[in-house]
Structure 1
């Protein structure tokens, strides 16, 4: 099942280290079949409040998402982002194509 790496970055200190991170991240995704779905972009807020940038990277499954995050290639560049940006980063699994909203009720029972 598709797994997503989600980053909600509220502050980013744009500078040489972030630029180096951006220049290098695509090469770390390729071996794990990761691809950007959302990378910043203007949001059109409908409810609540949201500040910062949203990043969503899709992987074919949780194993590849974890493999990417823990890979030597990504771990090497991770400090370039983590020391220059504040926010939350996590992995979350998607749902099957046939998923319907009430399915969540059956999972809790």
Structure 2
């Protein structure tokens, strides 16, 4: 069953670190079956606190999503994201 990695940025606090992340994150997908469905696009808040940005990435299953997230390449890139601002990140199974 498909699974989705969902990244919800609360607030961008360091644009320079986010720029570094943006420059390297694409390379982390090489060798992983990932499809980016949404990435910091226009959003419309319907309930709750409006996030600063949302990313949704589809994988064939949760194990593939976790393998990408835990890969050394992504963890190295993520170090810049962690400095760029607070995020909530989840992997959720699809239907």
Write out the 4+ residue segments of structure 1 that deviate beyond 4 Å after TM superposition.
none
Bigger drift between 66-75 and 29-38 goes to: 29-38
RMSD: 1.4
Instruction: List aligned pairs for 1:1-109, cutoff 5 A.
Output: 1-45=1-45, 47-49=46-48, 50-95=50-95
Counterpart-to-counterpart distance in 2, 1:69 and 1:62: 10
Q: Count residues in correspondence.
A: 94
**1:8-51 CA deviation, whole Å, 9 max, x = no partner?**
10111343321121111111113111121010111133x32423
**1:69-94 CA deviation, whole Å, 9 max, x = no partner?**
11010111111001211120110010
Please, which runs of 5 or more residues in structure 2 have no aligned partner? none
Higher RCO (CA < 8 A, seq sep 6+)? 2
- Quick check: 1:29–1:35 contact (8 Å CA) kept in 2? no
Please, which runs of 5 or more residues in structure 1 have no aligned partner? 96-109
Rg comparison, structure with higher value: 1
SS of residue in 2 equivalent to 1:31: coil
Q: Normalised by the size of structure 2, how large is the TM-score?
A: 0.88
